[in-house]
Amino acid sequence: MSHTHTKYYYPYVSPFDPCKPISPKSYVTPPQLYLGFQPPNLPQYDPKEALFRGTLWPALYSKYDKKGDRGDVNE
């Protein structure tokens, strides 16, 4: 099942907000929220790549970049 790893929402922006509004704001929705009970025989990374990614299965891999690269938008 394919799904997006990031969701967005628009907080209310007041004309009196002191900091520059971040809009939309984002949050992370990684693959374990969607996979269900893991089916057998899913494709695997080879052991070295698995180590560097932190999981043996591409279906469970979630990329994370520093906030700012991850989609929050400053208006």
What are the CA-CA distances from residue 17 to residues 4, 10, 20, 57 (Å)? Answer: 30, 14, 7, 44
Nearest distance, CB of residue 5 and another protein, angstroms: 11
By CB under 8 A, is residue 12 in contact with another protein?
no
- Site membership for another protein, residue 71 (CB under 8 A): no
- Residue 19 touches another protein, criterion: CB under 8 A: no
Spatial distance between the Cα atoms of 14 and 10, rounded to a whole number of angstroms: 12
Q: Output 23 or 50, the one with its CB closest to another protein.
A: 50
Q: Which two tokens stand for residue 46?
A: 């080879």
Q: Which of 41, 33, 25, 24 is nearest to 5 (CA)?
A: 33
Query: Restricting to residues 25-64, which ones interact with another protein according to CB under 8 A?
Result: 28, 30-32, 35-41, 47-48, 50-57, 60-62, 64
